[in-house]
Structure 1
Amino acid sequence: MIAALYLAYLLWLAAGWADFRCHRHTDLAHTSGLRESSLHLLQLALIGGGTILALTFELGRAPVLALAALVAAHAWVGYRDTCSAYGRRDLRPIEQHLHSVLDAAPVAAWTIAALAYAADDGGWDWRLRRPPLAPAGWLAVLAPALLLCVWPALREFRSAWRARPAAARPERTRAG
């Protein structure tokens, strides 16, 4: 079961990587630009926060509720992301399909976490995992995310920052 969940996680990350490739192909930096790229970073922060939470704490009512809030916020930001891009950039069918995977995966992961919690009521306490997740577990979860999603998102933001209109750039002044 764990191997299947991990494979699904890697496929979700691969969908994220493919989505960033779509953004690059449709020249996000010069179309929807910083606004859309900033929303991508916010989505990554929300899901990244949920991932860290799930790796750090035992599941109980409070952590599962916090995960639900993060998943809901991710979905709302994802909607705003699509609204931001619509009409500014070509949203191709493959990208829309990738978005459906990227939107559904956090809900599915939360459902699995909630079902696991239902089997073992951890109460409302925030309890650290005992024993803590081994460093190899952290690496197995975070390294692919950093490589497949965080790095492309940062590159995308840098490209959008460099391509922002001259009117949005701060004036450079010389001292003295």
Structure 2
Amino acid sequence: MLSDPMVLILMYFVLPVWLIAGFADWLCHRATHIESTTGAKESLIHLLMFVEVGIPLLAAMFLEINALIIAVMMIVFVLHEATAMWDVRYATTARTVTPIEQHVHSFLEMIPLMGLVSVVSLHWGQFLALFGFGPEKARFDLAWKEQQLPVGYIATVMTVILLFELFPYVEELFRGLRANSGRLVPPKARRNKAGDTAAR
């Protein structure tokens, strides 16, 4: 499995680009002073999206892919898209979402879809079985991968996620809370409506 070109593309192209886009998004938030515009509330939304993408990512890294995992990935993808819409709707109440940030968002929205489609293509039989088609029987058990990913790869990915994804967004949350005396929503965001900054 690890010699399959699609698996290698997922491991060494799709995931790294996704992580780079996530860190770039944090830089965009910092540049537009998220702590004094939309504050900790938007940071909590970002952390929610982090959890939403983390669930299928961890499943893909450690568990055998079957109908259950594919179903979870599909459901979480839809939830992530809905959360992303909520995020942008709230962000535009008080923070300027720059063209660069919008472009970064396009990566953050489409790369999960690319990953999902790639996983489905690798496990087509279980995808069909999920909907009652094909010769395979749908499996809904949780089982560790028979062939685990290399330990060095897992350690590197987890370290990068902690240092450049989780820690920055947690820092963003606390920065927003400090800037607004513990309040989730800064005064500017409370006064405005969704789209106010986009309409400028």
Please report the TM-score for the alignment, with normalisation by the length of structure 1: 0.87
Aligned partners of 1:167 and 1:28: how far apart in 2?
Answer: 13
Aligned partners of 1:129 and 1:135: how far apart in 2?
Answer: 13
Task: Write out aligned runs for 1:61-100 (5 A).
Answer: 61-100=67-106
| Residue correspondences, number | 168
More helix by share: 1
Report the alpha carbon displacement of residue 71 of structure 1 after superposing the two structures with TM.
1.4
Report the alpha carbon displacement of residue 166 of structure 1 after superposing the two structures with TM.
6.5
The answer to which of 94-103 and 49-58 deviates more is: 49-58
Aligned partners of 1:140 and 1:71: how far apart in 2?
Answer: 25
The answer to which of 88-97 and 158-167 deviates more is: 158-167
**Counterpart secondary structure, 2:123:** helix
- Partner residue of 1:158? 174
Report the alpha carbon displacement of residue 87 of structure 1 after superposing the two structures with TM.
2.5
Q: Which amino acid aligns with 2:49?
A: Q
- Partner residue of 1:4? 9
Q: Which amino acid aligns with 1:4?
A: I
Task: Write out aligned runs for 1:108-123 (5 A).
Answer: 108-119=114-125, 123=139
After superposition, give the CA deviation of every residue in 1:46-76 in whole Å (9 maximum; x if it has no partner). 1112111111211110011011111111111
Q: CA RMSD in A?
A: 1.9
Report the alpha carbon displacement of residue 4 of structure 1 after superposing the two structures with TM.
3.3
CA contact (8 A) 2:49 2:83 kept: yes
CA contact (8 A) 2:18 2:111 kept: yes
CA contact (8 A) 1:10 1:144 kept: no
Aligned partners of 1:167 and 1:136: how far apart in 2?
Answer: 41
Q: Percent of aligned pairs with the same residue?
A: 26
The 4+ residue runs of structure 1 with deviation greater than 6 A are none
- Partner residue of 1:40? 46
Aligned partners of 2:103 and 2:9: how far apart in 1?
Answer: 22
Q: Which amino acid aligns with 2:9?
A: A
- Partner residue of 1:174? none
Gapped regions of structure 1 (runs ≥ 5): 169-176
Asked whether 1:138 is paired with 2:138, we answer no
Report the alpha carbon displacement of residue 141 of structure 1 after superposing the two structures with TM.
2.4
